Amino acid sequence: MPSYKLIYFDVRGLAEVSRFLFYLSSTPFQDYEVSDAEWLTLQGKTPYGKLPILEVDGKTLAQSFAIARYLAREFGFAGNSPFECALVDALGDQFKDYWGELFPYFATCAGIKEFGNSNILRREVGEPARDKFFTMLERVAKENGSNGHLVGDSLTWIDLTVADHITTLNNFSDGFVDDRFPAVLAVREKVMNDPRLTEYLAKRPKRYF
């Protein structure tokens, strides 16, 4: 079995989906937490000046979605056919487009960076991005049979991505993703109630970012 080392800060953030994949697959890994002081010297040694990075037998892979896709394929959470894998990847690409639109509102709510008044940003940025993306996701989830998955009949990394995002988003903006999207919320509930994640969810980092 390869040796895995996931390197990130002591927060959930962009490494959380990859952590989920390790725990779901019962795969041993080192969850290495970088301190702020250590990051000052480590940053210049990373491929793109960002975290997370994954070391696999000493080889380095960067970018959170690339890491998640790699682990999902290794552990069986990428889709049950080449076409399902492509559908999952397409939703991942769509998520990144949405995240770019949402970020000014989310970053302001989370205290990451100030983009203006949060109430105005919610109305002009957050809600339009949410309604466009989650309306699309709701359609996808319903077309997939409202079975708690976005693609196929088994857990994939895009289910994990959406579930963790809803949890994080609603923490900073209470009720932002609400019961207008029941099929999507069912995906979140299925992920968060997976018995393979119970122990990790009880002890995971309290800080989101």
- The pTM of this model reads 0.95
Both structure tokens of 117: 């008044």
pLDDT digits (tens, 9 = 90+) for 153-179: 999 999 999 999 999 999 988 899 999
pLDDT digits (tens, 9 = 90+) for 103-149: 999 999 988 899 999 999 999 999 999 999 999 999 999 999 999 99
Q: How confident is the model at residue 51 (pLDDT cuts 50, 70, 90)?
A: very high
CA–CA separation, 87 vs 95, rounded Å? 12
pLDDT digits (tens, 9 = 90+) for 6-40: 999 999 999 999 999 999 999 999 999 999 899 99
Residue 202 pLDDT more than 80?
A: yes
Q: Assign domain 82-192 to a CATH class.
A: mainly alpha
4-76 shares its CATH topology with 82-192: no
Q: Assign domain 4-76 to a CATH class.
A: alpha beta
Residue type, 4: Y
- β-bridge pairing 53-56 and 30-33: unpaired
